[in-house]
Structure 1
Amino acid sequence: MPVSYAFNGKYVIAHSKEDMKISMMRKHPQVCFQVDEIEDYANWRSVIPA
């Protein structure tokens, strides 16, 4: 299930359909959140906000 998100400079705010992923994030809010941008196999990057 896709996750829409926003970053306000301090927090990542996530929104998605209620499923196991969202349930686990609510139970354990100190999660790691990774964002991927993929053009093709040779052109991609990942970011993990600190």
Structure 2
Amino acid sequence: MQCLPKYELSSFRNLTQIAEENGFASTRSMNKVFNNIYGKNASDFYKELRS
């Protein structure tokens, strides 16, 4: 499985768009995988990058 590149999450797209572009059926399914890899959900990570 390929991890989401950092530039994907730091872009101005929303998490739904990022999930779809990376082959996930939903943001929820992306968050599950993201949490397993990074230990936090994508929206928390996304908020940290944007602040």
TM range (shorter): under 0.3
Structure showing greater Rg: 1
Greater helix share, 1 or 2? 2
TM-score, scaled to structure 2: 0.25
